[in-house]
Amino acid sequence: DAGVTQSPTHLIKTRGQQVTLRCSPISGHKSVSWYQQVLGQGPQFIFQYYEKEERGRGNFPDRFSARQFPNYSSELNVNALLLGDSALYLCASSLAQNMNTEAFFGQGTRLTVV
């Protein structure tokens, strides 16, 4: 079975540009969460989506947005990129929204802002 897949794997953008990252969850999983992992730190929670609705949001500026599609895949958008947005962006999927579920992570998208 395919795990969580993310695309692209690597990306280089210029300051001020916009970027869209994509995530396909494990088949049957309805919840998708996004995390930002800066080098040397743990993943920081950005968003959780369940059944196409935002169910949780971390402490990130409004430049970050996301959505979930009817097939449960998800996109993370970041506008007006800053150098500090350079990080590994992780997507995790789980069966349900509640806390009693394990999250499965993708390999991540490495974003470099120059």
Amino acid at 5: T
When asked if residue 26 is in the footprint of another protein (CB under 8 A), the reply is no
Among 66, 108, 109, 111, indicate the residue that binds another protein (CB under 8 A): 108
Of the ranges 8-16, 63-71, 77-85, 101-109, which one interacts with another protein (CB under 8 A)? 101-109
**Binding status of residue 35 toward another protein by CB under 8 A:** yes
- Can residue 25 be called a binding residue for another protein (CB under 8 A)? no
